[in-house]
Chain A
Amino acid sequence: MSSHRFLIAAAGLLAIAAADCARDSAAPSAEAVATRPDISGTWLHPAGPGGGALRPAEGFPLTPWAIEKMKAEKPTFSSDFRETTDPSVLYADPNGYPRIQSHPMKFKLVQTDDYVYHLWEYNQNWRQIAINQEHSPDAPLTWYGNAVGKWEGDTLVVDSTGYKPSTWLNSQGVPHSEQLHIVERIRRDGDTLVMHYTVEDPVAFTKPWTVELKYARVKDGAMIETIFTISDELRFRERFLGVPSPIPIRR
């Protein structure tokens, strides 16, 4: 081996070793892991008042832009897609966040050193909350946003932005813009998961508003696949509504 090649090989090994050291130093200590608050588990919002309804007690402080937008929307109180403008029915779009938190199916929280994973049974959707990281400056707009979090005592504080504006904020058609910014404070109180939301969006709301949702811990069983697609919707329309599909339907 020439001395030149030897130097390149040695530099490569050093770089790998340095990267390993950096990973080790970033990893939380065993004590930190042992004392980390535990919000993991399977959660379901209980039926009844306050159970998962995503709305502030005093009503939404809607801007004229939001009021105008809502005038054109028809929420999903019908079986017939022709009677609603709900994007999750019309286009089989994902609910997006935070609307999916109102869905009456369970979700799981899974904690690792670097992330908290939020896994919804409905539509097999998920989001990741990056722990102790900054927001990416060039994150694209997505259904489930760009979420970062940090622990403050027993509470996980999650800051999220980057939401695709085509989703509804809840099933009643409350709109939002690309400027939607959500701060969540998530903590566990025995067998209850408490999620406190502060929501701001200067395009849709005249001021920030808050709501607190509570979820009950349920058996940590299997998540059942329920992926709702446009072919499912076309099939439903053809079979139950008598509306022929413009393309062959599959199942």
Chain B
Amino acid sequence: MRSRMLIAGIAAIICFPVSLSAHHGAASLYDVNKETTLKVTITEFVWTNPHVEIGIASVEDKSARWLLELGSPPNVANRGWTSRSLKVGDVVTITFNPGLRGARIGKLVKVVLANGKELQA
């Protein structure tokens, strides 16, 4: 019986759809059911692997800072991002899934630039 359960378990794992999140999942780091939207100043924008990094500081409370991750460069490039989409000092409205347990990290959902252009994660 135990071996049958094991085989069923392995079959379930094998049949799990291939993850389109190529490198890192999100559920164990971020509250994917919660979205936080803030007007922020960009403190860093790093076009890097495995995922593009965005540093933000709240306009209302500059001590409130987060480090957000985006997808990998080729994937986000397909959605209109370039290495110059953001620069330090830009003021934008940003939506992200915040880190679990109060961690000052997040997973970007979307950003609305000062000119109204919207970029999706």
Contacts and interface: CB of A to CB of B under 8 A. Distances in A.
A229 B14 CA distance: 27
Contacts, number: 100
Contact of B13 (A75, A80, A226): A75
Given A67-B7, A71-B6, A75-B13, A105 B22 contact: yes
A53 B72 contact: no
B116 interface: no
A233 B67 CA distance: 16
A226 B18 contact: no
Given A79-B28, A80-B29, A174-B14, A228 B7 contact: no
Interface stretch (B33-41, B48-56, B57-65, B87-95): B48-56
A236 B51 contact: yes
A102 interface: yes
A47 B14 contact: no
A251 B48 contact: yes
A80 B100 CA distance: 13
B10 A62 contact: yes
A52 B22 CA distance: 13
Nearest to A229: B49
A114 interface: no
A60 interface: yes
Given A229-B49, A240-B69, A122 B22 contact: yes
A134 B67 CA distance: 52
B19 interface: yes
Nearest to B67: A239
A235 B24 CA distance: 14
A58 to B, nearest CB: 11
Contacts of B10: 62, 67, 70-71
Interface in A6-59: 47, 52-55, 59
Contacts of B19: 76-77, 171
Interface of B: 6-7, 10-11, 13-20, 22-30, 46, 48-51, 53, 67, 69, 72-75, 77, 103, 105
What are the 9 tightest A-B residue pairs by CB atom distance, in nearest-first order? A79-B29, A224-B74, A79-B24, A232-B49, A228-B49, A53-B18, A78-B28, A104-B20, A77-B25
18 contacts: A47-B20, A55-B15, A70-B13, A76-B19, A77-B25, A78-B25, A78-B27, A79-B28, A89-B24, A105-B75, A121-B74, A122-B22, A171-B19, A223-B74, A228-B49, A233-B50, A236-B50, A242-B103
